[in-house]
Amino acid sequence: TSSCFYPLGRICVAFICSMDDGNIDEYDYSGYGQSSGKPSEQNTYADIEAVYKCLEESYGVKQEDVILYGQSVGSGPTLDLAVRLPKLRAVVLHSPILSGLRVMYPVKRTYWFDIYKNIDKIPLVNCPILIIHGTSDEVVDCSHGKQLWELCKEKYEPLWIKGGNHCDLEQYPEYIRHLKKFISTVEKSPSQRQASRRSTDQFEQPRRSTDFFEVSRKSTDRREKPRQSVDRHEKPKNQSNSNNADKLEKLKISFEQLERSRRSMDCIEKSRKSIDHQLERARKSVDRLDRVRTG
């Protein structure tokens, strides 16, 4: 029996699902949905830790039977917990972010005030990782998902959904197909996966199975032109637009503190340059006095 623990947060929801019977137990991060408190980076870490402890202590779930699923900002607490679970079965990242600051600015290094530093954590995760991202994501560019995939220690073939945006990937048929295939693959033990891979390579040399882990191969799911799910037309359009607006507003709130931190750093940098300039002027004055004395 295996269990899936999905700290999803769309951007805030999470749920727990058994691979065998499909039972789901949902929770909201602090400040989202029905949860009290305020949304913050540290609170989301505490929330996911509390849910995992509940699974472990109250239900006897082992980490090797758990798959973590994180979407958007939810990819932050997901990877934070994954780093601390060395026997974790697998991780799924849905429209993930490199870090909070990198969503707004193309920075080349990680600053101390950044939040959800996924770019620094993902290389430390030992289990298989599936990354799913839309190529037309207007909130978190697809380059975030692609760069994270390159940094994975144990890669699984990613899914780049052509035309997919930030909050609609579930409506593409290849999404659920690829996710099911991944779960079916990671349900096998590592030794079984290796044996299956060797068997496949032996009898099908010209073609490599997409069910197993790839090192540098691009997704083959790009070949299929995404179609709208039939369920998509059953959702009231106004309700869908309202839900997406709420999600994007939550994402905006999450990054407001980054903007304040950045401005604070700009002020500190300006002050430092001003002090350096004053010190340089003082040094030149001392040099002139020395020349007068020696002359």
Q: Is 166 a catalytic residue?
A: yes
Q: How far apart, in whole angstroms, are the C-alpha atoms of residue 5 and residue 270? A: 46
CA neighbours closer than 13 Å in the CB half-sphere of residue 280: 6
Distance, in Å, from the CA atom of 44 to the CA atom of 78, rounded to the nearest integer, reads 9
What is d(CA 180, CA 251) in angstroms, rounded to the nearest whole number? 28
Catalytic residue among 3, 47, 65, 72: 72
- Residues 176 and 132: beta-carbon distance below 8 Å: no
**If you ran DSSP here, which 8-state letter would residue 14 be given?**
E
Among the options 47, 166, 221, 254, which is catalytic? Answer: 166
116 SS3 class: coil
Q: If you search the block for the tokens 């929330």, which residue do you land on?
A: 47
Which residue stretches of 84-218 are H helix?
A: 100-104, 118-121, 142-151, 173-186, 190-203
Report the relative pairing of strands 154-155 and 159-161 from DSSP bridges: unpaired
Q: Which of 137, 141, 168, 221 is catalytic?
A: 137
3-state secondary structure at position 81: helix
Q: Which residue has the tokens 């220690």?
A: 153
Which residues are known catalytic residues?
Answer: 72, 137, 166
